[in-house]
Chain A
């Protein structure tokens, strides 16, 4: 009897652990207030985004991308705080545009991967059995592919590609970790009685997946997506610098850092590539710090506050 009782209370304890109380938003606020580094990062991110988005609306972008032959490769000065490039364009304007595009592309990839990953992960984890088996085979196959190489190969065979195709190609090979995480969490939740209860109450499978299971695993997935956001910014930058990312008429932080691929620019004109390099590191660092605080908020065991 004693044994049985222990077993029972253990089961209940475990269920309690899996069932977070409904206050994720508040937990994030509390974590941010208590983690100064995360708070500073958060404020810094807001300042960067406000500057970039509001700045790029007020800033005369026509002026920014206009080629001025008289102003080629000027070092920083009072008129051009960050100098000019080989076409005489103001680097400040390029930075505004570049940071905005890089961020939007990273958001696009992250969101698309999130949607596909969550959908696939929920289906695999919820239905289990053969469905799960087939989906996991496909995921195993895709994850053995050398992602970078395949992206580069596909980009090199598409004759005309733009931001949209770039986002689609990168996303097509990057949703696996989101799907894996969602599946694992869904499997965990699926063992809890509330999912079984919904089935006995006549709720349809897709409704159970999205309205019952998803709210319980959403916070952990949001954390993962935040961290992915930074990773995707880095990936876009790397690919673009190598010449296999965005087309060069679309300024991004990658195209700016690409100026450094020219040895002359690298040695003599650091103002063309250094600010963009610093900006991307600062942005990614801030996202990671905020993401870390959000992660602690999602996992009650790790909370500092």
Chain B
């Protein structure tokens, strides 16, 4: 298994290399450059040209790419032209925001997913299962952006329960309890929006596992021995049914970190997804490049983690 993991990580290297090249070429097609935004009456056009020459804007793309790669390998992803700070620092700040939002969303997703999945599996075919199944279809059919708009309209504007955007109230002192509560308060509506839409996968996996285990031989044996129904569930069925659900976690983490663009945007939450859209609009390509590659690597790692959990908890499945 270590060999397999090592091989998957090795494959990642050429993949990232090709991806970075693609992203770089893509960026070189984008109109304008970092200095377009820096037009300053105090700097003469001649001086700008000089700067462009000096910073190598007229070098062929492969020279630029080579420079970018050597910088990136030493941990320098360049400087954001719109925020005037190093890209790594900028992304670091925003990554924390995205991380906390994703964690809260994940929590809500799994609370709903696990409880509904268990109920649905145990009462398979009963009205409560049908209601849950209707809910999963509704969650599938609801674009996150639509639910976001509707939630803001009702809960922020009409009922005034939640703030409309941002991360924290103005004037709060970091470190205090009220600061912490304010942050949670700001994250809650976006987290709920994602958290009610994403449990579909967990519910479906858990339900089908439970339904399968319900008629399995060892459960039948336990039942025929007179083991109480509750014990059958806690001791025999759920313990087995949770395994594939746990393995799903890796995919979910990658999906959440990457799929948060819509929700972060609609709630103007300053995370990585929102940063990406801002950078695209401001032609801040150093940030765009770095984010795309980061998300690609996260996707691969998330899938790998899921595969590892899967093969660790279920000896029947060996990753290839």
* Chain A positions near chain B (C-beta within 8 angstroms): 140-141, 143-146, 148-150, 152-154, 156-157, 159, 230, 234-235, 237-238, 241-242, 244, 257, 260, 263, 266-267, 270, 273-274, 277, 280-281, 284-285, 287-289, 292
Contacts and interface: CB of A to CB of B under 8 A. Distances in A.
Nearest to A292: B137
A149 B15 contact: no
A237 B146 contact: yes
B143 A285 contact: no
A260 B177 CA distance: 34
B1 interface: no
Give 6 nearest A-B pairs by CB, closest first.
A284-B141, A146-B295, A285-B141, A234-B143, A260-B149, A157-B30
A281 B141 contact: yes
Contacts of A288: 137, 140-141
Interface in B254-305: 258-259, 261-262, 265-266, 276-277, 280-281, 288, 291-292, 295-296, 299-300
B285 to A, nearest CB: 9
B18 to A, nearest CB: 7
Contacts of B18: 141
B81 to A, nearest CB: 16
22 contacts: A149-B258, A149-B291, A152-B277, A152-B280, A153-B23, A242-B261, A242-B262, A244-B277, A257-B146, A257-B149, A263-B164, A266-B149, A267-B153, A277-B146, A277-B149, A280-B146, A281-B138, A281-B142, A281-B143, A284-B141, A284-B142, A288-B137
Contact of A153 (B31, B144, B262, B280): B280
Nearest to B28: A157
Interface string B46-61: 0000000000000000
Interface string B109-143: 00000000000000000000000000001101111
B157 A153 contact: no
Contacts of A292: 137
A142 to B, nearest CB: 10
A149 B146 contact: no
B78 to A, nearest CB: 17
B145 A242 contact: yes
Contacts of B164: 263
Q: Which of B31, B143, B265 has the most CB of A within 10 A?
A: B143
A125 B214 CA distance: 35
B108 interface: no
Task: Report the interface size class on chain B.
Answer: 35 or more
A60 to B, nearest CB: 29
Interface string B198-235: 00000000000000000000000000000000000000
Nearest to A227: B140
Nearest to A154: B26
A135 B18 CA distance: 16
Contacts of A285: 137-138, 141
B2 interface: no
Nearest to A286: B141
A280 B143 contact: yes
A270 B157 CA distance: 12
Given A157-B29, A159-B31, A285-B138, A242 B292 contact: no
B117 to A, nearest CB: 18
B150 interface: yes
Given A152-B277, A270-B153, 12 more contacts: A148-B259, A152-B276, A153-B292, A157-B26, A157-B29, A157-B31, A238-B145, A238-B262, A266-B152, A277-B149, A281-B142, A288-B137
Contacts, number: 107
Contacts of B153: 260, 266-267, 270, 274
A148 B23 CA distance: 14
B19 interface: yes
A230 B258 contact: no
Contacts of A145: 19, 292, 296
Nearest to A259: B149
Contacts of B142: 281, 284
A301 B142 CA distance: 29
A263 B268 CA distance: 12
A148 B258 contact: yes
Nearest to A231: B140
B22 to A, nearest CB: 9
A157 B292 CA distance: 15
B19 A144 contact: yes
B79 to A, nearest CB: 20
Nearest to A263: B164
B276 A149 contact: yes
Contacts of B31: 157, 159
Contacts of A266: 149, 152-153, 157
B277 A242 contact: yes
A237 B152 CA distance: 18
A131 B43 CA distance: 57
A243 to B, nearest CB: 8
A277 to B, nearest CB: 5
A154 B30 CA distance: 9
Contacts of A274: 150, 153
B155 to A, nearest CB: 13
Contacts of B157: 266-267
Interface in B27-45: 29-31
B15 A241 contact: no
